[in-house]
Amino acid sequence: MNERTEQHRERLAAHVFVCVNDRDSAHANCAAAGGEETFTAVTEWLRERDAYWTAVSVTRTSCLGLCSDDGTAISIQPRNTWYADVTPADVPDLLESEFGADAERVGGGT
Ligand code: FES
């Protein structure tokens, strides 16, 4: 085991988890609600601001417990911020409110 907490904290300001969970049932799931498209919108927004995988990591994840037919669930850690019903069209406003228009607040604060 190799604990890398300190090194990772120095590099990484935030980690965006985007649910892309699919399930074979009638229950709502983010895959059916545009999860992959929302994941792409998040990565593109960050990439355009040179923040993708430099200061902000983005990961597809399984169910975050915010399932909906109306959009995707997103969690931003370690901020402990949670969103449901996110569509690709919502992503610019969501990320701007979290990180600033040019991702100048990736380090935290408001
Ligand atoms: S399937 Fe995405 S939050 Fe449950």
Which CATH number is 32's domain given? Answer: 3.40.30.10
Residue 109: pLDDT above 70?
A: no
Residue 84 alpha carbon, nearest atom of ligand 1: 3
What is the pLDDT at residue 80? Answer: 96
What is the overall mean pLDDT for the chain? Answer: 94
Domain membership of residue 16 as a residue range: 11-96
| Contact in structure between 95 and 47 (CB atoms under 8 Å) | no
How much is the average pLDDT of 28-40? 97
Residue 108: pLDDT above 60?
A: no
How far, in Å, from the CA of 22 to the mean position of ligand 1? 8
How far, in Å, from the CA of 100 to the mean position of ligand 1? 26
Taking only the tens place, the pLDDT of each residue in 67-102 is: 999 999 999 999 999 999 999 999 999 999 999 999
CA distance 39 to 61: 10
Domain assignment present for residue 46? The answer is yes
Domain assignment present for residue 15? The answer is yes
How much is the average pLDDT of 38-50? 97
pTM for this prediction: 0.93
How far, in Å, from the CA of 6 to the mean position of ligand 1? 31
Domain assignment present for residue 102? The answer is no
Distances (CA, A) of 56 to 62, 95, 107: 19, 11, 9
Domain assignment present for residue 4? The answer is no
Is 56 strand, coil or helix? Answer: strand
Residue 23 alpha carbon, nearest atom of ligand 1: 1
CB-based pocket (< 6 A), ligand 1? 19, 21, 29-30, 63-67, 73
Domain assignment present for residue 104? The answer is no
Domain assignment present for residue 2? The answer is no
How far, in Å, from the CA of 19 to the mean position of ligand 1? 6
Domain assignment present for residue 91? The answer is yes
How much is the average pLDDT of 29-50? 97
Residue 31: pLDDT above 80?
A: yes
Domain assignment present for residue 59? The answer is yes
How much is the average pLDDT of 6-11? 86
Total number of domains in the chain? 1
Residue 110: pLDDT above 50?
A: no
CA 14 to the chain's CA centroid: 9
